[in-house]
Structure 1
Amino acid sequence: MSAAGTTGNAATIHRFHSAVNSGDRDLIAEAVDELVAPDLLFHAPVPMGLSGAEALKRVWEVLLRAFPDIHVTVEETISEGDKVVVRNTVTGTHRGEYQGVPPTGKTVTYSEIFIFRFANGRVAEVRGVVDVLSLLRQLGAFPS
């Protein structure tokens, strides 16, 4: 892949994060439809029974319901070949049920790292590591 293609892939991820940070479910769904392959391979915790781009949409529905002001800050982006790696800091206020924890009103901050693989200009595969334990501890679900 050319350097321009690699740069374009990183720009695609940043466009997706802009949609996510809008908090607009419809805009996020449109971004998924535009930027993600329908048969996306998604290697991260996802709702059971869903796959592909629909699973990614569902993840954001769940997150926005629990953290309506969720914000993803991209700390680092690394592009090489057909892959883009991002290290993010996520913040939000717990206003809806999450993982069985009722709303607490607490503000949370957690880290995540995702590797996006591109094919034909769209995200074809995602591998993610999300610090869910830290998030759940901040919500009081686990002792610190």
Structure 2
Amino acid sequence: MSATEVTRNKATLRRFHDAFSTGDAEIIAKTIDEVVDPDAQIHTPLPLETKGKQAIKDVLAVLHRGFPDLRIEIEDVIAEGDRVVSRNTVTGTHRGEYMGLAPTGKSVTYKEIIIARFADGRVAETWAVVDVLSQMRQLGAIPS
């Protein structure tokens, strides 16, 4: 893989995160359609029936319903070959139902690491590690 392709893949992952942070459902969906393969393999266990890029759209819709002001701050982006890793801090305010929890109005800050494999300039596979335990503790769903 050329240095140009690696740079392009890093920029694509940043574009995805930037779109997500807008909170605009149309921008998010359009960006996913442009940068994610329709049949992308999502290796993170999700409580969804959908697959591929639709699963990503569904996860982001759930997050934005629960945290309409959700933002991703990219801490690190590391790329090698066809893989791009992003270490992020996520912040938001719990203003809508999320994972069975009624809105609490509480702010949350948690970490995540996303690994994306690219093929032909699009996300073809993802793996994510999200600190859901920290998120749930901050919402009061799990005692600290």
Structure 2: distance between partners of 1:117 and 1:48: 21
Match for 2:14: what amino acid? H
What is the rounded CA distance, in whole Å, between the counterparts of 1:96 and 1:62 in structure 2?
9
C-alpha deviation, 1:43, in angstroms: 1.3
After superposition, residues 106-125 of structure 1 pair within 5 angstroms as 106-125=106-125
Q: CA deviation at 1:45?
A: 3.5
Deviation track 1:78-137 (CA, whole Å, cap 9, x = no partner) reads: 010000000000000000111111100000000000100000110000000000010000
Mapped pair 1:88 → 2:88: yes
Q: Which runs of 4+ in 1 moved over 3 A?
A: none
Residue in structure 2 matched with residue 72 of structure 1 by the alignment: 72
Provide the TM-score with structure 2 as the length reference: 0.98
Which structure 2 residue ranges, 5 or more long, are not aligned?
none
Tell whether 2:39 aligns with 1:39. yes
Distance (whole Å) between structure 2 residues aligned to residue 142 and residue 101 of structure 1: 11
RMSD (Å), alpha carbons: 0.7
Distance, in Å, in 1 between the alignment partners of 2:13 and 2:142 is 32
2:143 paired residue number = 143
Q: Deviations over 1:32-57 (max 9, x none)?
A: 00000000100124242110000000
Partners of 2:69 and 2:140 in 1: CA distance: 20
**Aligned residue pair count:** 144
Q: For 2:126 and 2:29, locate their aligned partners in 1 and report how far apart those are by CA, in whole Å.
A: 17
| Identity percentage of aligned residues | 58
